[in-house]
Amino acid sequence: MIKLFLQNKHSIAYKLLKIVFTIYFSLTFVITLSHMAIEYKATKSRIQHELFSLEKSFKEAITTAMWELNNEQLYAIAKGVSKLPVVKGIDIVNAKDELQMSLGKTLVASNKSDLFFHQFEIHREFNNKVVFLGWVRFYSDSSVIIDQIKLGFFLIALNALIKSVLLTVLFLWAFRKYLFTPLNSLTQQVEKVNLDNVFDVHIDTVDENNELKLLENGFNHMLKHIEHDRNKLDERHKIQMAELNQLVIKRTVKLDDAINELNKIAFSDPLTQIKNRRSFFEVGHTILSVAKRERKAVSLLMMDIDFFKKINDSYGHHIGDEVLIDFTRKIACQLRESDLFARIGGEEFAIILSNTDSAGAQQLAEKICKIISLSTFNSGEVSLSYTVSIGVAQWRDEDTKISALLNRADQALYQAKNNGRNKVQTA
């Protein structure tokens, strides 16, 4: 029976059991790891204290050996310290910051991140002066910690495993008795119900007065009303179908309006309300095709507001947005209806000028530069001036795509910026 519910991954019992076990095992795993981490840190702290205690035990002997330049005695001391269980290495450095002696796994020989150490300085009083002889560093690593706590780790893991097994058995027993068995009986009775004939159907499988009993009573009550409601539903269905037909007609009209609005949004920049990059390429391609067929000149202006990032950083992006709108309005009133004006990205704008050669395009670009540089943007307490750099390019017969014209204009724009900005450069 339990297997039947577990095989149905969409059943409430399966999901509930999965949630319970997931929460329990997750908490058990986290608590066990936390316990291990606390044990690890406590052991490491104890070992560090033992390293500190070694200073008191060997400092005087090391001081004497370093003062007397007795390397044999110093080596014997270092070798003896390095054999201690908590010590993995020792460094002795003289006052000239030169390595005098190194034994075991030390930072001088290895850069392993699991090493930790205790360091102390060696001084000797001579002629009422304190002479600095050098410093000593005792090393230990995580392997020492693990050796001391691996039994504790094993007991912690074993304890968690035993608890998990016992609680799993208890969970399954409780679920089987109070959920799986009664829910299975209720499910079997519900599956036998024939909705075409519900007059004499009555479900009675749950003995205890619990949530499942309430569900059973509710289901029986629902069966009594099904037939009565079925006739009403038929009548309402006819009325609703008529209303639905009228609603479909109205919604179709609204849908057409929405599609038109979406098309407008898809081809317009939401901030400046001029053409966006997608519209620029689609409409621009048509303009260039007509111009090529009629052998008329077409030019393109590539514009970029100078130091626009500085405006955003200094005044905020909302002021930057207002500057873009202000720039768009000032440019739009200088253009013809046949010109294609679009925002193609960030502070970059482009204009396709129909029936206009590069000389005419450069004249318009210089006019735009002058208008922008001489004007002032005002918004509340913010008042600022800005400039624009423009690259100009004319359509060539060998150009096969609008991107070729745009690239030349973009290169010219790059030269204009290199020439000091607030400039016009023709490709």
- pLDDT(9) > 70: no
- pLDDT(109) > 50: no
Residue whose tokens read 């939401």: 270
* The two three-digit tokens of residue 332, written as one number: 């739009």
- pLDDT(137) > 60: yes
Q: What is the pLDDT of residue 405?
A: 93
Residue 226 class from Cβ within 10 Å (0-12 exposed, 13-18 middle, 19+ buried)? middle
The strand pairing partners of 426, in sequence order, are: 392
CA 288 – CA 397 distance, rounded (Å) = 11
Angle at Cα 286 formed by Cα 284 and Cα 292, nearest 5°? Answer: 100
27-31, 113-117, 183-187, 210-214: least confidently modelled range? 210-214
- pLDDT(67) > 50: yes
* The two three-digit tokens of residue 152, written as one number: 């504790």
The strand pairing partners of 424, in sequence order, are: 390
Mean pLDDT of 397-418: 92
Chain length of the chain: 427
- pLDDT(111) > 60: no
* Span 78-101, pLDDT tens digits: 888 888 888 888 888 888 776 667
State what percent of residues in the chain have pLDDT above 70.
79
| CA dihedral sign of residues 237, 242, 248, 254 | negative
Mean pLDDT of 220-239: 73
Q: Does domain 277-426 have CATH number 3.30.70.270?
A: yes
- pLDDT(172) > 70: yes
Q: Which pLDDT band holds residue 11 (cuts at 50, 70, 90)? A: low
User: Among 191, 216, 294, 347, which one carries the catalytic annotation?
Assistant: 347
What is the maximal distance between C-alpha atoms in the chain?
117
Cα 183 to the center of its chain, rounded Å: 42
* The two three-digit tokens of residue 309, written as one number: 């990032």
Q: What is the pLDDT of residue 127?
A: 85
- Please state the pTM of the whole predicted model: 0.43
Comparing CA positions, the residue from 354, 270, 350, 360 lying closest to residue 305 is: 350
**Domain map of the chain by residue range?**
1-192, 195-267, 277-426
Comparing CA positions, the residue from 225, 234, 183, 170 lying closest to residue 201 is: 225
Comparing CA positions, the residue from 307, 310, 312, 304 lying closest to residue 345 is: 304
- Amino acid identity of 41? K
The three state secondary structure string of the chain is CHHHHHHCCCCHHHHHHHHHHHHHHHHHHHHHHHHHHHHHHHHHHHHHHHHHHHHHHHHHHHHHHHHCCCHHHHHHHHHHHHCCCCCCEEEEEECCCCEEEEEECCCCCCCCCCEEEEEEEEEEEECCEEEEEEEEEEEEEHHHHHHHHHHHHHHHHHHHHHHHHHHHHHHHHHHHHHHHHHHHHHHHHHHCCCCCCCCCCCCCCCCCCCHHHHHHHHHHHHHHHHHHHHHHHHHHHHHHHHHHHHHHHHHHHHHHHHHHHHHHHHHECCCCCCECHHHHHHHHHHHHHHHHHHCCCEEEEEEEECCHHHHHHHHCHHHHHHHHHHHHHHHHCCCCCCCEEEEEECCEEEEEEECCCHHHHHHHHHHHHHHHHHCCEEECCEEECCCEEEEEEECCCCCCCHHHHHHHHHHHHHHHHHCCCCCEEEC
- Amino acid identity of 131? V
The residues near 94 (Cβ < 8 Å, ≥ 6 apart) are 66, 100, 133, 134
Mean pLDDT of 370-383: 93
Q: Which pLDDT band holds residue 110 (cuts at 50, 70, 90)? A: very low
For this structure, is 294 an active site residue? no
Mean pLDDT of 253-281: 82
Q: What is the pLDDT of residue 16?
A: 72
Q: Which pLDDT band holds residue 201 (cuts at 50, 70, 90)? A: low
Q: Taking each helix axis from N to C terminus, what angle separates 358-374 and 317-332, rounded to the nearest 10 degrees?
A: 130
* Comparison of pLDDT for 147 and 426, the residue scoring more: 426
